[in-house]
């Protein structure tokens, strides 16, 4: 018998996501992913100063904060043919690495861990055994029996108080939780430690960008001038602060995140054959070692993999009309050319049209439009983007750093490469990347210091900053690898203003509804076949969906042609 279950809200994500799934004989037979919030930022961008766009699109997402701003300044610099100074590239790279490490650690501990760790079960742990285990898997110093028993006492008081706060109503005791109490307790300890750690690592963004979330960027470079003989500039004190934070970040990733990931993964190896999904992967590439225009210098190499075939890589051309297109067959939008055509973002057009049921509702009608996300396709193919895609492309390109980290992990866990294309693999890939990026951040830091030492203190190229120097019309595209995957912004500039701005973001690739041919996107595809032990507690659905690290505010941001304005401000009576 088929049963339809609904998970809405999906929590521990950014934004508003709804999953509806049909269950047959304890497994998911069909799944639908729906984004249920829209802000229409692209309409707001129109007619604004292109130099201001980074600030507006930065507000697309406060979790993967900064990567949208980075992509935006790249798109404007592409349109106006601006080359930024090496120092600015390096500072952007260091800020990127910081946000990347922050994002992956926070995702693992605060957004994903409770799918694997049973918090209440941690109360049964023996602190002595926990300490012995912690010391076996890592040299991280916070591992004494007293440390774990104090924490246990603190959590016990919380549970005894009856006010569980963020842990209320979790699926505690669910049969799919497999960790021994001691591992649960270590995980819980590191949940709290990571909460403290994350506020430290982002200080790097505050040094260069003034604040985090939402640090400042600048078309042409960065605003943080180098003044090694001035207290206000980037000087030795500021650089030392950055260095010490990057050192600590690397230590935490090596001694806490990776050992926890590998330990937890070893209890959930069956998830190496669940949640594989599409098998198509796409990466635009990022972290230029020798300038953004030199794609061969990217630490994350670009490429496309089709049908799990790592032996053949395809190239992506973001400027080509037929490469990236967006469809709206199952989305709450209208195109002038009809519901079933695809449009390249430079020609991107959209008019919102909600045709779903009138809220409050129980179910969406999946034969019709059912999401505020559009459906992007690469040469007609559905694509998965994100950590797994990047790790596989790096691996398929034969990059030593990728091969090294992947092969080591596969050996430790004693699983084949094919097991990477799974829920477990996606979660593991995030860890592999964090580990690579923690070293690259330091490499970029040394490069920056070296460059300043050579006497280059330029931080911004202001030659084209004055709009009077711009051509009447210009188009550009900027791309980045956001923590959640391939991200690009397409901009059209006319008469010094934005005439069109389109974002195609990672979660749109992954979480979008099916296309006109009925091809599923990554979430829906990955959920097929996922076992669900208890329909009332669909923990397994959360595991697979969270393995993508959903970020919905990003995904839904399209604009409105502003039809009938039915403005009903309801005033609530208290």
Partner 1 sequence: MSQPLTYYDEMKNKGYSRRDFMKFATMMAAFMGLERSAVGQIAKSMASKPRVPVIWLHFQECTCCSESFIRSSHPIVADILLDQISLDYTETLMAASGFQAEEAMHNTMTKYKGEYILCVEGSVPVEADGVYCMIGGKTSMQILEEAAAGAKAVIAWGSCACNGCVQAAKPNPTAATPIHKLVKGKPIIKVPGCPPIGEVMAGVIVHLVAFDRIPQLDALGRPKAFYSKRVHDTCYRRPFFDAGLYVESFDDENAKKGYCLYKVGCKGPVTYNACGVTKWNGGTSFPIQSGHGCIGCSEENYWDNGRLYERASAFAGFGIEATADVVGGIALAATGAGVLGHAIMTNIRKKENIHMLEDEGRKEEKELDH
Residues 461-500 that bind partner 1 (CB under 8 A): 462, 465
Which residue in the set 146, 165, 416, 518 belongs to the binding site for partner 1 (CB under 8 A)?
A: 165
Query: Smaller CB distance to partner 1: residue 61 or 383?
Result: 61
* In the complex, least distance from residue 303 CB atom to partner 1, rounded to whole angstroms: 30
Q: How many residues does the chain have?
A: 574
Which residue in the set 132, 166, 236, 533 belongs to the binding site for partner 1 (CB under 8 A)?
A: 166
Q: In sequence order, what are the residues at sequence separation of 6 or more whose Cβ sits closer than 8 angstroms to the Cβ of residue 34? A: 17, 18, 19, 20, 364, 370, 371, 372, 373, 513
| 8 A C-beta contact, residue 8 and residue 18 | yes
Q: What 3-state DSSP class applies to 69? A: helix
Which residue in the set 44, 123, 262, 528 belongs to the binding site for partner 1 (CB under 8 A)?
A: 44
72 near partner 1, rule: CB under 8 A: no
In angstroms, the CA 190 to CA 198 distance is: 12
Strands 2-7 and 303-305: unpaired
Q: In sequence order, what are the residues at sequence separation of 6 or more whose Cβ sits closer than 8 angstroms to the Cβ of residue 45? A: 53, 56, 57, 498, 501
Q: How many residues bind partner 1 (CB under 8 A)?
A: 118
At which residue do the structure tokens 């990047």 appear?
390
Which residue in the set 146, 453, 455, 571 belongs to the binding site for partner 1 (CB under 8 A)?
A: 571
239 near partner 1, rule: CB under 8 A: no
From 195-203, 250-258, 323-331, 404-412, give the range in contact with partner 1 by CB under 8 A. Answer: 195-203
356 near partner 1, rule: CB under 8 A: yes
Which residue in the set 362, 400, 414, 468 belongs to the binding site for partner 1 (CB under 8 A)?
A: 362
40 near partner 1, rule: CB under 8 A: yes
Residue among 563, 535, 556, 543 at smallest CA distance from 20: 535
Query: Smaller CB distance to partner 1: residue 367 or 567?
Result: 567
Which residue in the set 98, 130, 131, 212 belongs to the binding site for partner 1 (CB under 8 A)?
A: 212
In angstroms, the CA 480 to CA 442 distance is: 20
Which residue in the set 211, 319, 347, 517 belongs to the binding site for partner 1 (CB under 8 A)?
A: 211
* In the complex, least distance from residue 101 CB atom to partner 1, rounded to whole angstroms: 15
137 near partner 1, rule: CB under 8 A: no
Side-chain half-sphere CA neighbours of 466 within 13 A: 3
Strands 333-334 and 351-352: antiparallel
Sign of the Cα pseudo-torsion (61, 63, 66, 72, in order) = negative
321 near partner 1, rule: CB under 8 A: no
Q: Would you tell me the crossing angle of helices 127-137 and 181-201 to the nearest 10 degrees?
A: 60
In angstroms, the CA 130 to CA 250 distance is: 24
Map the footprint of partner 1 across residues 365-424, applying CB under 8 A.
372
51 near partner 1, rule: CB under 8 A: yes
243 near partner 1, rule: CB under 8 A: no
Q: In sequence order, what are the residues at sequence separation of 6 or more whose Cβ sits closer than 8 angstroms to the Cβ of residue 124? A: 181
Q: Per-residue string for binding with partner 1, 547-566, x by CB under 8 A?
A: ------x-----xx-x--xx
Query: Smaller CB distance to partner 1: residue 94 or 542?
Result: 542
Map the footprint of partner 1 across residues 415-444, applying CB under 8 A.
none
Q: In sequence order, what are the residues at sequence separation of 6 or more whose Cβ sits closer than 8 angstroms to the Cβ of residue 42? A: 348, 350, 500, 501, 502, 503, 557, 558, 559
* In the complex, least distance from residue 83 CB atom to partner 1, rounded to whole angstroms: 14
At which residue do the structure tokens 């080591």 appear?
408
Query: Smaller CB distance to partner 1: residue 215 or 259?
Result: 215
Map the footprint of partner 1 across residues 103-132, applying CB under 8 A.
110-111, 114, 119
Query: Smaller CB distance to partner 1: residue 68 or 344?
Result: 68
In angstroms, the CA 197 to CA 338 distance is: 50
* In the complex, least distance from residue 190 CB atom to partner 1, rounded to whole angstroms: 12
154 near partner 1, rule: CB under 8 A: yes
Q: What 3-state DSSP class applies to 324? A: strand
351 near partner 1, rule: CB under 8 A: no
From 253-261, 276-284, 353-361, 379-387, give the range in contact with partner 1 by CB under 8 A. Answer: 353-361
206 near partner 1, rule: CB under 8 A: yes
Output the CA torsion 162→167→171→173 (10° steps): -60
* In the complex, least distance from residue 125 CB atom to partner 1, rounded to whole angstroms: 18
Residue among 214, 245, 217 at smallest CA distance from 438: 245
13 near partner 1, rule: CB under 8 A: yes
Query: How far does the chain reach from its first CA to its final CA, in angstroms?
Result: 46
52 near partner 1, rule: CB under 8 A: yes
């Amino acid at each position: 018998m088929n049963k339809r279950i609904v998970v809405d809200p999906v929590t521990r994500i950014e934004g508003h996501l709804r999953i509806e799934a049909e269950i047959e004989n304890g497994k998911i037979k069909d799944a639908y992913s729906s984004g249920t919030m829209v802000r229409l930022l692209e309409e707001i961008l129109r007619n604004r100063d292109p130099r201001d766009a980074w600030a507006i699109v930065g507000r697309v997402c406060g979790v993967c904060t900064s990567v949208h701003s980075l992509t935006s300044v790249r798109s404007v610099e592409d349109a106006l043919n601006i080359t930024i100074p090496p120092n600015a590239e390096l500072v952007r790279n260091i800020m990127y690495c910081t946000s990347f490490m922050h994002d992956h650690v926070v995702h693992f501990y605060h957004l994903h861990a409770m799918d694997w760790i049973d918090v209440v079960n941690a109360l049964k742990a023996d602190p002595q055994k926990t300490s012995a285990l912690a010391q076996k898997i890592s040299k991280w110093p916070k591992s004494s029996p007293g440390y774990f028993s104090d924490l246990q006492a603190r959590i016990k008081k919380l549970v005894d108080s009856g006010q569980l706060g963020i842990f209320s109503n979790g699926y505690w005791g669910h049969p799919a939780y497999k960790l021994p109490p001691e591992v649960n307790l270590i995980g819980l300890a590191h949940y709290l430690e990571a909460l403290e750690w994350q506020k430290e690592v982002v200080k790097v963004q505050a040094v260069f960008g003034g604040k985090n979330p939402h640090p400042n960027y600048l078309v042409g470079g960065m605003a943080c001038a180098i003044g090694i003989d001035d207290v206000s500039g980037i000087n030795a004190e500021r650089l030392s602060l950055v260095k010490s934070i990057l050192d600590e970040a690397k230590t935490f990733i090596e001694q806490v995140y990776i050992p926890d990931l590998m330990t937890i993964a070893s209890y959930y190896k069956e998830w190496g054959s669940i949640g594989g999904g599409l098998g198509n992967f796409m990466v635009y590439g990022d972290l230029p070692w020798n300038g953004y225009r030199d794609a061969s210098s990217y630490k994350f190499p670009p490429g496309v993999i089709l049908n799990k075939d790592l032996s053949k890589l395809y190239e992506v051309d973001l400027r080509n009309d037929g490469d990236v297109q967006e469809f709206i067959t199952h989305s709450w939008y209208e195109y002038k050319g009809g519901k079933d055509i695809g449009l390249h973002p430079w020609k991107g057009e959209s008019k919102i049209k909600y045709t779903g049921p009138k809220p409050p509702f129980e179910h969406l009608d999946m034969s019709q439009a059912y999401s505020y996300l559009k459906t992007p396709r690469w040469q007609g193919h559905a694509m998965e983007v994100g950590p797994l895609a990047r790790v596989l492309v790096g691996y398929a390109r034969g990059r030593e750093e990728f091969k090294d980290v992947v092969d080591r992990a596969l050996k430790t866990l004693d699983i084949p490469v094919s097991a990477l294309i799974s829920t477990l693999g996606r979660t593991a890939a995030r860890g592999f990347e964090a580990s690579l990026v923690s070293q690259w951040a330091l490499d970029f830091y040394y490069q920056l210091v070296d460059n300043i030492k050579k006497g280059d203190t330029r931080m911004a190229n202001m030659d084209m900053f004055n709009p009077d120097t711009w051509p009447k019309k210009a188009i550009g595209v900027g791309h980045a690898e956001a923590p959640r995957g391939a991200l690009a912004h397409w901009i059209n500039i006319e008469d010094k203003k934005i005439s069109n701005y389109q974002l195609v973001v990672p979660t749109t690739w992954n979480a979008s509804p099916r296309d006109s041919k009925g091809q599923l996107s990554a979430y829906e595809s990955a959920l097929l076949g996922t076992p669900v032990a208890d329909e009332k507690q669909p923990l397994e659905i959360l595991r697979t969906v969270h393995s993508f690290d959903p970020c919905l505010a990003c995904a839904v941001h399209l604009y409105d042609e502003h039809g009938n304005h039915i403005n009903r401000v309801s005033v609530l009576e208290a």
